[in-house]
């Protein structure tokens, strides 16, 4: 890996961050807070939230098996994705490499930041070639994006190929594990200490059932996390979100049950799709959704919309011609989808 000072945008490397009132004070003795121009009334919402979310991070550290200094919390994973560009890439100069097809936000954030977005197609089994990924890089490549389990394909990317990228690339490798709770496989969080160039993304939006609170996580070396902390908005995670997240992390009993139920439903849905005459194949999945190749994805999508059922039409995505992406819902939602498709 290159030195971080070579990878970080020069202005960000030099940046002295905004110092908020709550940054400058830390400790537990104080009882009178007259430092932040807050209103003393309307407690507890009158107070600014903890800018570094210490209490949430302590719980995340325990749940995820990482140290607090290795955690960044953001307004969804989307904030962490955007921060990767804003911290590491110089607009108009640097580039990034990503698997294709994958999650759309990596490209959108590249476009917003005016950073060249290079893609390397997955093979016919939606697997990545480390060799091809590395061949697509040059001296201006700062980031490599890998999503595993991948969206929209659903499958895990081969662990050994990912390790080859981590070992072979001298920039930052981001592995988005938004769906790892559904895969039952080892996660890259566990090898964080071995790879100083690794950033792993997680989210509360999927298995944790909390898309509405907007809480995304990045795990990385404490050096990378401190760069994120200096660039993020001072109060990027609001207090309602922090409180809800603590509640969930302290009593996560439902999550395993939800995941088990969704995985059983996923099997039922896949088997049911496989016998539909309008379904040509269902791709293997390690997530809470599956990709299905249909006879005519657009027509079936339109038909479902007319019946008030929305799936994701991925037919115009690379290598996903005539594919629909179907999220596993409740038993009743899933059954309604199947009933409608059987009537098609
Ligand atoms: C859904 C999803 C996320 C979650 O994004 P949030 O901003 O945390 O809701 C992240 N990555 C991928 C690949 C996803 O599919």
Give the residue-averaged pLDDT of 41-45: 95
Tally Cβ neighbours within 10 Å of residue 60.
Answer: 24
Q: For residue 288, report the distance from its CA to the centre of ligand 1, in Å.
A: 12
- The candidate with the shortest Cα–Cα distance to 218, out of 203, 208, 206, is 203
> Higher pLDDT residue, 24 or 161?
161
pLDDT in tens, 6-16: 999 999 999 98
Give the residue-averaged pLDDT of 325-329: 98
Tell the residue nearest (CA) to atom 11 of ligand 1. 178
Q: For residue 135, report the distance from its CA to the centre of ligand 1, in Å.
A: 27
Lowest mean pLDDT among 20-24, 193-197, 312-316: 20-24
The H or E element containing residue 224 is helix 222-231
C-beta 169 within 6 A of ligand 1 = no
Tell the residue nearest (CA) to atom 5 of ligand 1. 77
pLDDT in tens, 74-115: 999 999 999 999 999 999 999 999 999 999 999 999 999 999
User: For residue 31, is pLDDT > 90?
Assistant: no
**Percentage with pLDDT > 70 across the chain:** 99
Do 173 and 166 contact (CB within 8 A), yes or no?
A: yes
- The candidate with the shortest Cα–Cα distance to 16, out of 219, 231, 294, 172, is 231
Given ligand 1 and candidates 103, 204, 218, which is best to mutate, with the most ligand atoms within 8 Å of its CB?
Answer: 103
Give Cα 182 to chain centroid, integer Å.
14
H runs (alpha helix) in 290-342:
297-306, 331-342
> Higher pLDDT residue, 25 or 220?
220
- The candidate with the shortest Cα–Cα distance to 290, out of 160, 175, 179, is 179
pLDDT of residue 247: 96
Question: What is the rounded (10 degree) CA torsion for 67, 18, 76, 147?
Answer: -70
User: For residue 26, is pLDDT > 80?
Assistant: no
C-beta 78 within 6 A of ligand 1 = yes
Task: Label residue 17 by pLDDT band (50, 70, 90).
Answer: confident
Angle, CA of 199, 200 and 205, to the nearest 5°: 140
Tell me how far CA of residue 187 lies from CA of 19, 92, 325, in angstroms.
35, 34, 24
Prediction pTM value? 0.96
């Amino acid at each position: 890996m290159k030195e971080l000072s070579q990878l970080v945008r020069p202005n960000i490397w030099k940046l002295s961050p905004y110092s908020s009132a709550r940054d400058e004070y830390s400790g537990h003795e104080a009882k009178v807070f007259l430092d932040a121009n807050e209103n003393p009334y309307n407690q507890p919402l009158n107070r600014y939230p903890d800018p570094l979310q210490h209490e949430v991070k302590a719980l995340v550290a325990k749940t995820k098996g990482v140290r607090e200094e290795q955690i960044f919390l953001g307004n969804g994973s989307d904030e962490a994705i955007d921060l990767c560009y804003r911290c590491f890439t110089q607009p108009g100069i640097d580039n990034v490499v990503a698997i294709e097809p994958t999650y759309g936000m990596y490209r959108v954030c590249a476009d917003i930041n005016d950073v060249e977005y290079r893609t390397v197609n997955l093979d016919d089994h939606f697997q990545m070639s480390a060799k091809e990924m590395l061949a697509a890089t040059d001296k201006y490549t700062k980031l490599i994006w890998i999503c595993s389990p991948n969206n929209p394909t659903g499958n895990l990317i081969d662990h050994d190929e990912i390790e080859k990228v981590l070992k072979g690339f001298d920039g930052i490798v981001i592995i988005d594990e938004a769906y790892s709770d559904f895969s039952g496989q080892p996660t890259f969080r566990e090898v964080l200490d071995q790879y100083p160039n690794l950033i792993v993304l997680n989210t509360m939006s999927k298995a944790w059932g909390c898309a509405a609170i907007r809480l995304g996580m990045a795990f990385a070396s404490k050096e990378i996390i401190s760069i994120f902390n200096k660039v993020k908005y001072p109060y990027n995670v609001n207090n309602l979100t922090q409180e809800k997240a603590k509640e969930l992390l302290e009593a996560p009993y439902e999550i395993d049950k939800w995941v088990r139920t969704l995985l059983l439903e996923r099997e039922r849905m896949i088997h049911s799709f496989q016998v539909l005459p309008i379904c040509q194949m269902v791709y293997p999945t390690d997530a809470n959704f599956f990709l299905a190749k249909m006879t005519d994805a657009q027509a079936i999508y339109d038909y479902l919309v007319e019946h008030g059922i929305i799936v994701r039409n991925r037919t115009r995505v690379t290598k996903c011609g005539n594919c629909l992406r179907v999220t596993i819902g409740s038993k009743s939602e899933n059954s309604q989808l199947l009933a409608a498709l059987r009537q098609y």
